[in-house]
Amino acid sequence: MPSPFRNDVLAGKRILVSGGGSGLGKEIARGLAAHGATVYICGRREGVLDEAAAEIRSMTGAHVIPLGCNLRDPDSIAAMADRIWQDGPLTGLINNAAANFIAPTKDLSPRGYDAIRSTVMDGNFYATLEVGKRWIAGGNKGSIVSNLVTWVWTGSAFVVPSAMAKTALHAMTMSLSVEWGGYGIRLNAVAPGPFPTEGAWEKLNPIPEASVGATQADEVPLRRFGQMHELQNLMVFLQADGCDYITGQTIGIDGGHHLAAPSTFAGLVKLTDEQWARAKAAGKASAEREKAQRTV
């Protein structure tokens, strides 16, 4: 699908995408690179990052730099920022790093809750704070966009830690847009509906019986899943010059899904204990495959 933007609309922009080695983060990074930005992608799986960077470079000809980083560790983020600022300050940050899986909340362990909260809320806040402080100290303007979910408006059963953490970033977006507006720093967010990616779908739709409102195209008013170029276009727009008066907004991109309902995982109340056991085993297997790839 042809882009509505010029190929050089982001020329001169330097943008960091957290969790940019796979899933939506990789697609967002690809879209930014295709429009002229220098793109940094970070995450804990350095092999995955290297492959993604090479792929995006070959497709776009852009400068794409993979950086290993543990977003749960503020010192790791600071070290990554030191490396980036050697080339010059960023102009944009995409808070995309995430973790999630479906589970009955009564069965969640503190460790499972922490795995989601520490990445989604803590990690993305740490990245925002590190980049924001450097922009303020250097007198630089910047654009921060957080990749959220429509559950920030509705909540969602069976993904409670993710709904809580994403909603915290929604609040951060509104709060810091006011606090940092005078520095020329804008904060916005996007709330995608169902955009299937392999890694996420293995955890959110691990067995056929788990396919409910949140992951069903026929529950979307437009009767289809989102297409990656549509999410890319919105991210490009929010990082481009010319929309500097937009800040503090969370923009839904879900084909009207959250307005029509069901757009959450509430339908999982119908699963039996045996089905939950199979879903848990499938999700765990997916997580173990990802864990084996981590080097940070």
Give the CATH fold of the 14-97+108-192+222-255 domain. Rossmann fold (3.40.50)
In the prediction, which pLDDT does 112 show?
94
In the prediction, which pLDDT does 276 show?
85
10-residue mean pLDDT series, the chain (296 residues): 90 98 96 98 96 97 97 98 98 96 92 96 98 98 97 92 97 97 98 80 60 71 91 97 95 91 73 87 85 78
In the prediction, which pLDDT does 260 show?
82
Closest C-alpha among 18, 59, 69, 16 to residue 40:
16
In the prediction, which pLDDT does 279 show?
87
Could you tell me the CA-to-CA distances from 77 to 2, 106, 180 in Å, in that order? 35, 33, 20
In the prediction, which pLDDT does 58 show?
97
Domain range list for the chain = 14-97+108-192+222-255
In the prediction, which pLDDT does 207 show?
59
What tokens were used for 185?
Answer: 């720093």
In the prediction, which pLDDT does 213 show?
58
What tokens were used for 143?
Answer: 């654009």
Is the pTM for the entire model greater than 0.75? yes
Closest C-alpha among 60, 70, 69, 71 to residue 28:
60
Q: Residue 215: count other Cβ atoms within 10 Å of its Cβ.
A: 20
In the prediction, which pLDDT does 201 show?
55
In the prediction, which pLDDT does 244 show?
93
Cβ–Cβ under 8 Å, residues 144 and 186:
yes
